[in-house]
Each structure stands twice: as structure tokens, then as C-alpha cells.
Amino acid sequence: MKTFYPMFLTTIKNYSFNQFYKDVIAGIIVAIIALPLSIALAISSGVGPEVGLHTAIIGGFIVSFLGGSKVQIGGPTGAFMIIVYGTILKFGVDGLILATLMAGLIMIVMGIFKLGAIVKFIPYPITTGFTTGIAVIIFTSQIKDLLGLDIGALPSEFIAKWEIYFSNLNTINFFDLSIGLFTIAIVILWPKINKKVPGALIAIIVTSIITSLVSFDIETIGTRFSTISSALPQFHIPGFDKELIILLIPSALAIAFLGSIESLLSAVVSDAMINDKHRSNTEIIAQGIANSASALFGGIPVTGAIARTTANVKNGGRTPVAGMVHAIVLLIILLLFMPYAKLIPLSALAGILVVVAYNMSEWRNFVKLFSSSKSDIIILLVTFFITVFVDLVIAISVGMILAALLFMKKMSEETTFQIREMYDDVEGTKPKARHTIIYRVNGPLFYGAAERFSDSINEISHDIKNLILVIKNVQILDSTAQESLHKFVNLCKKQNIRLIVVGANPQPIKILQKTKLYDKIGKENFYEKIQPVINEIKLQNASQLIITQ
């Protein structure tokens, strides 16, 4: 299969007018949904409102045109807010643009090296923990505008934000708060009236009309941003400063890693909805191109947006054309209606993002995981708290390491060892002499179980003639366990004990042959089944044998 083969090239082969009509309708509806979200996310990220539309237009079109999913919708998302905001605070907008460009290049390389399957290895408690954590961060970031607090720029740290909020509660603007709560009510209740037209759009229109008609002190986009441009974004290559590039590596890695995970998770969700399979490596390469292009036109990071992708599917979108239409409609809105955006109350945008945070939180799944295993609960909570209090990428990294360690511990506990002994019984009474040990290993023999393997082997008495190692239930043998086995083979040679291996599977055999242990043990000492070995030992001892249970 090709590493990069856009889904657009596949779907266009048998494209029909009927599907084109459905894609256009879906694209228009998704654009209407994306409009207030793109503006709100841009403002909350620390850039101008038009930048959110630039990102959705450029990134959204490229993700659909070049991506590996039939229905993926690309654009700015809440997951990037804290990274974008923090990067701008430290390095300015130019620093963010360079970090986004670097992230795009990293994602392209990831796709070329076929790392698109990375999402398959992220445990569910990690995705739930960091998704819920991001929801908490989004909610926290909206408190200032929702309450209309009279404070300046906010720090990026979670606790520091809340300290400032509590110390400035006396500056609450109840007009802003009323607009925000009214917006939340419209977004929640409007679907009961009409599910086709997004509640967020209705809320924006209604609250903007109210703001323009009354003379109350309500902060709007126009009062915060002196100029709102409807011009097309300008192509600009950022300056490449070696020291700045080094400083921006953590931010670039964070954007690339988080963007890849979120876009692939969105693609997996949409696959289940349309009974299809996305091309993960193509998707990551397309996301990388989209982020690079967005940066070169002054935009913010792009990724697959789960909510917008879901809306696309539910409204009939089944090919990348829907996502391309969504970008074109947003372009028309930018060119014709952007000046009217100055009437939108900031508290209304905050209200929309509060609802987004609630829907994103997956709190029911979060709570449900508490009925799971202790290891899943630990992974969930560690990922959640590090996401909220430290950093998103650190949270995922620590969560993955913790999940791997707990998984290895669990797997090592699944590996069991059983020892049975064979005796001569010449008179049929008391056992006379022990001469053979049957040693069974059940489960993977890897570094997590290697120490227990060594310990149990060392407990075996060396005054025996034969040791039968039964490993038919061992599918995996790694280098650490192989080294323990190597020491044991040497010990058997030294003690003049015949080592017999029974039921070795292909992978362990391959490892033993590669490390020359196969030849050291001797081809004649490998058997497929244990009964021929027992029969051979019976003949050698010429007596009745007793095998302990």
C-alpha cells in the first residue's frame, strides 16, 4: 500500500451528482458550525479572530483534499489552546508560526516513516484522561470573558489563572455574564427546536443583535480588537533563527504529537460511523502539510476536529468534497461578512466554548473507568492531573510509560512456573532416587518475568540427571530471558545435567538459533512433545517411574 495516497483520488472515481449535493449541504452546515468555533478558539489562543478563519480555510481544505479520511474536517481545536497561548506568551506570534511550521514538517516525516498506527497503542484511560483534562483547561480559560472580569493577560498555568480569578471577582460584569449564560441556554435548548441549524450560530446572531441595540457595557470583538480584516491571509516565510528553533523544539513536538493523536482519533471515530477505514499515514502527512501551510499564511495549528467531523457525517457528507466545500464557504464568509464579527460579544463566544468543554469532557466515560482495574484508574488520574497542572504532551508521555510498566507487571504475573519430579520406584514403595525434573513455563518469557524465571531455576537441585524444559505455552522469548536461559545452559553443562527442550514455538526457536543457544543445547535435545522424552527416560532407567503432581 502506498504511504501517501489521498482519499479524494479514490472517492472521485465513482462520484455522483447525488453525492455532490449531499456533500455541499453537509459542507455548508459544517462551515456554519465552524464559524463561531474558529473565531472563539482563535481569540482564546491569543490571536485575532480572523486568524481562526484563515486556519480553518487553509488547513481545512488541505486536510480534506490530501487526507486519508473520507469525512475528516480539519481546523483549529480546543486541544491546542493551551499550547498556542503558552507559546505566544514566551515567543510571540512569530515564535508560534515557526513552531507550527516545524510541527508540520515533523508530522510529514512521521507519516513518511509510517508512524500513522501510533494511535492504536494509546490506551483508552490515557485518551480519556487527557481529553477530560483539556476540557477542564478550556473551561478555565473562558472564565475571564464569561464573567467579564476586568483583568489583563492571563498566565498559562492552571492554578495561577484561578488565583487571579478569585482575586478579581469584585470586577464581574453582570451584563457580560448574562449574555454568556443566555448563550449557553440557547446552545443547549435550540436543538429541541431545530437540529439542522447550529445553536451556536443562533446564539451569536441573537446576542450580536442585542449588543448592537442596547447601550450596556458589554465587551465585543470590536472593543478588544481595533481592526478586523476581511482580506485574504498573506504568504510569509518566518525568520529562521538557530537559537529560537532550538527553544521551540518542545512546542513543535507538542503540536505535532497532539495534532497526530487527535486527528487519528477523529478518523477512527468517523470510520466507525461510515463503516470505512482511513489511511493513517496519508492522514498524518496531510495534517503536516496543512499545518505547514497554515503557518506560512499566519495561521495557528490544525488537526482533525471530532465534533465537526461527526456533524459532517450526520448531515450526509461521505467524501472529502464536503470538507473542501466547508473551507470555501468559510472563505466567502471571511470576504463578505467578517466586518460584522466586531458585534459579537466575547462572553457569547466564551459561553459557546463552555458548552464545547462540557461535551468534550467525556465525564461519563471518566466516571465509568473507576469501575475498571486499579491500573486503569491510576493511568486515568495521572494523565488527567498532569494534563491540567503540567503539560499535555508530558501527560501523554508519562501516561504511556506508566501504562507500559503496569502492563509489563501484569504480563509478568501471568507467566507461571511449575516443577514436577520423576523418581525411580524399584520396590513400589518409597521413592528411591530422583533423577529428572519437569519444568513448565506458561506465558511470555520476557524481561518482566526473567528474574522470576532465574529465581525459580536456581531453586532446582543440581543432583539430577535430566531437566525437561517445557515451553509450548511460551510464544515470546526476549533477549533478557534468553540471557537467563544462557546462564542456565552453562550451569547444566557444568553440572553434567542433560537439558531437554519440549514444544518450542517458532519465535523462541528463532531467538535460540540466532544466539547459538540452539546448537549449544543440541538439536537432539529438542522435542515437539513430552511423552517421547518420558518413554526414553523410562528405558534408560529400566524401572517404574513416579511423576509428582
First to last CA, the chain: 53
1 or 340: which leads in pLDDT: 340
Predicted confidence (pLDDT) per residue in 35-90, tens digit:
999 999 999 899 999 999 999 999 999 999 999 999 999 999 988 888 899 899 99
Note the pLDDT of residue 462. 66
Predicted confidence (pLDDT) per residue in 241-279, tens digit:
889 999 999 999 989 988 998 899 889 889 989 999 999
pLDDT surpassing 80 at residue 334: yes
* Average pLDDT rounded to a whole number, residues 307-318: 91
Average pLDDT of the residues of the chain = 89
* CB neighbour class for 265 (10 Å; exposed up to 12, middle 13-18, buried from 19): middle
Task: Look up the CATH number of domain 415-547.
Answer: 3.30.750.24
Predicted confidence (pLDDT) per residue in 473-522, tens digit:
998 888 888 888 888 888 888 888 889 999 999 999 998 999 888 999 99
- Residue 209 CA to chain centroid, in angstroms? 40
Which residues fall within 8 angstroms of residue 16, CB to CB, at 6 or more apart? Answer: none
116 or 505: which leads in pLDDT: 505
pLDDT surpassing 50 at residue 547: no
CA 147 to CA 102: how far, in whole Å?
36
What percent of the chain is helix, strand and coil (3-state, nearest 5)?
70, 10, 25
The domain segmentation of the chain, as residue ranges, is 7-362, 415-547
Banded model confidence at residue 326, pLDDT cuts 50, 70, 90 = very high
For the chain, percent of residues with pLDDT exceeding 90? 56
Mapped onto helix, strand or coil, the DSSP state of residue 537 is helix
pLDDT surpassing 90 at residue 393: no
pLDDT surpassing 90 at residue 198: no
**Cβ distance 300 to 56 under 8 Å?**
no
pLDDT surpassing 80 at residue 207: yes
**Cβ distance 520 to 488 under 8 Å?**
no
CA 184 to CA 117: how far, in whole Å?
38
Of 73-87, 99-113, 276-290, minimum mean pLDDT range? 73-87
* Average pLDDT rounded to a whole number, residues 306-310: 90
What global pTM score does this model have? 0.79
pLDDT surpassing 50 at residue 232: yes
